[in-house]
Homo-oligomer: A and B are copies of this chain.
Amino acid sequence: MKVTRRDLIAGAAGAVALARTAGAQTPADPTKVRGTPPRALGDRASTARVQRIVRGQVVSSTPLHDLMGIITPSDLHFERHHGGVPAIAPETYSLLIHGMVERPTIFTLADLKRFPSHSQIHFLECSGNLGRTAGPETTPGMLAGLTSTSEWTGVRLSTLLGEVGVRSGARWLLAEGADAAVLTRSVPIEKALDDALVAYGQNGEALRPEQGYPARLFLPGWEGNASVKWLRRLEVSDQPFMTREETSKYTEPFANGTSRQFSFRMDARSLITAPAFPNRLERGWVEITGIAWTGAGRITRVDISTDGGATWAAARLQEPVLPLAHTRFRHMWQWNGGEAVLMSRAVDETGYMQPTKAELLAQRGPGTATYHLNPITGWVVQPDGRVVYKEESWA
């Protein structure tokens, strides 16, 4: 793929930054110049800078079109918060577990770290992960960059609930954050006792501040909003708490006039990350690649269409295919210069297939959907090689 004008501008800016900050320039023959010594902390090459896409005061997206594996570097993990990122000192952090429990308990961060720990590679996706009025010049990250994959480490919530002793009749937990929004969500006890973590680690280190440092709830495969960050309180109850974030928000209207509440699980989805805007193709073999994921377990197949959905072929899935994690797919395609529409669709281990926009709208009703939109999306390859988003309006 050719570099775009945007790439060139970014590259030139990077070169200037290198000259300014490191006092260095790229030598004509690098074997004739001693290189730079080791450093306590590495950095990206000045010619390979990437960054999140910041939108307003509460969102930044992962630049999926710049990434090529399944792990998202922590400084590029998407962020979504409702009151900014709070600063919390780890030595004053505490988590209260109370309500329908035998022994209400306050856990310090050190307490949490003394329990058996678990690490799991999982995606985390915001349930509102679709650019609803995207135009042709939309990158994959702009379209659907509110999903990222990390290795999460923490203590199983089931272990903590075993410590405090859940009373019979308990059905739900309230999870409360220590941010300025005091974000609260209700979580079914079944999920809490299954694979939920109170996570303090991300990609081998402490959580990043925007990911809930010092500790967060992590509910594998479920909408990100329910994995409450900066977790300070869990209250056990016999019913859900009907918080703002699960009544006025994070519910989905249906075509028949009803709404779906507590739709936690993220359905199977896929996204071609290259070629996509702003790539420009040259004729010949092109690798079509992207990511697929599902809250229902493992991805079992990703199909690729290069003719707008008329015909499909199975892509190659990168091993290992991990449950509840981004799965990379790849497919070689020969482009001979005509217009083409590239699409992908994911199938998961339950047999669920990612729907078309028409199928989604038939279920949800037109014009109102905001959350849990996982339609098949497409990229148009124009005869001149430019690739643009196949515009779809959901507004």
Q: Are B38 and A60 in contact (CB under 8 A)?
A: yes
State which of A95-103, A203-211, A242-250 sits at the interface with chain B: A203-211
Is A21's beta carbon under 8 Å from chain B?
no
Question: A8: nearest residue on chain B (CB-CB)?
Answer: B91
Q: Are A70 and B204 in contact (CB under 8 A)?
A: yes
State which of A109-117, A304-312, A376-384 sits at the interface with chain B: A109-117
The residues of B that contact A37 with a CB separation of less than 8 Å are: 54, 57-58, 84-85
Interface residues of A in 68-112 (CB under 8 A from B): 68-77, 79, 81, 83-92, 110
Candidates B32, B40, B88, B330; contact of A60 at CB < 8 Å: B40
Q: Are B206 and A45 in contact (CB under 8 A)?
A: yes
Copies of chain A in the complex? 2
The residues of B that contact A40 with a CB separation of less than 8 Å are: 51-54, 60
Candidates B34, B69, B180, B284; contact of A201 at CB < 8 Å: B69
Roughly how many angstroms separate A143 CA and B178 CA in the complex, as a whole number? 39
Q: Are B60 and A25 in contact (CB under 8 A)?
A: no
The A interface, classified by DSSP as helix, strand, loop or mixed, is loop
Q: Are B30 and A210 in contact (CB under 8 A)?
A: no
Q: Are A35 and B83 in contact (CB under 8 A)?
A: yes
Q: Are A180 and B67 in contact (CB under 8 A)?
A: no
The residues of B that contact A86 with a CB separation of less than 8 Å are: 27, 30-31, 33, 35
Known: A54-B40, A153-B69. A178 touches B30 (CB 8 A): yes
Give A residues with C-beta under 8 Å from B.
1, 11, 18, 24-27, 30-45, 47-48, 50-60, 66-77, 79, 81, 83-92, 110, 113-119, 121, 151, 153, 178-180, 182, 201, 203-210, 213-214, 230, 284-287, 289, 318, 320, 322, 328, 330, 332
What are 5 A-B pairs at a CB distance below 8 A?
A1-B110, A36-B87, A43-B208, A68-B201, A69-B203
